């Protein structure tokens, strides 16, 4: 099929409509399509392969953040009661948000225990403004009890 130019007269204006010549259909060959799909699939497989590592890292960072919040709650309780002995050796249970729940609650994710000990004499000599003790907080995941976070705080109680 061989088409030529046509000239259209509209209101004494000349508008040229150029119709293309159909010499050969243009497009992508099968080899080009297969190579493009191969490159795209390689990239997608790489991205999908990174998802588990990213999710694991995110889970660990959430656990670390909640553990730090729980430790801060325990130290605040010790400071508010005026004595670390008030929370000594009691196991408390927490959910994902760091909120304290009962042991029987199905939302229990973390458990924590605070233990009061006397610090080394060198620390006691430097902080002689009152009674000095160390509050050791151990926090572990209920589902993974071997994953334990240890936090230590030095408390001073005025006489």
pLDDT beyond 60 at 3: no
Question: pLDDT at residue 8 above 60?
Answer: no
35-87 per-position pLDDT tens digit:
999 999 999 999 999 999 999 999 889 888 999 999 998 888 887 876 555 56
Q: How buried is 46 (Cβ within 10 angstroms: 0-12 exposed, 13-18 middle, 19+ buried)?
A: exposed
Range list of H helices, the chain: 30-81, 121-126
DSSP element (H, E) containing 155: strand 148-157
Which structure tokens are listed for 135? 């509050």
Mean pLDDT of the chain: 77
User: What predicted TM-score, i.e. pTM, was given to this entire model?
Assistant: 0.62
Which pLDDT score is estimated for 120?
Answer: 59
């Amino acid at each position: 099929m061989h088409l030529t130019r046509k000239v259209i007269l509209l209101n004494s204006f000349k508008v040229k409509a150029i119709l293309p010549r159909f010499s050969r259909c243009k497009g992508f060959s099968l080899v080009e399509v297969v190579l493009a799909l191969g490159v795209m699939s390689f990239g997608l497989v790489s991205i999908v392969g990174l998802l588990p590592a990213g999710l694991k890292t995110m889970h660990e960072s959430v656990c670390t953040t909640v553990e730090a919040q729980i430790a801060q709650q325990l130290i605040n309780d010790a400071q508010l009661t005026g004595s670390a002995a008030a929370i000594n050796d009691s196991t408390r249970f927490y959910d994902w948000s760091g909120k304290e729940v009962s042991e029987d609650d199905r939302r229990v994710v973390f458990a924590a225990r605070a233990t009061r000990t006397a610090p080394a004499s060198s620390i006691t000599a430097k902080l002689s403004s009152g009674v000095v003790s160390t509050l050791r907080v151990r926090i572990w995941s209920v589902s993974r009890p071997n994953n334990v976070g240890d936090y230590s705080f030095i408390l001073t109680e005025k006489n």
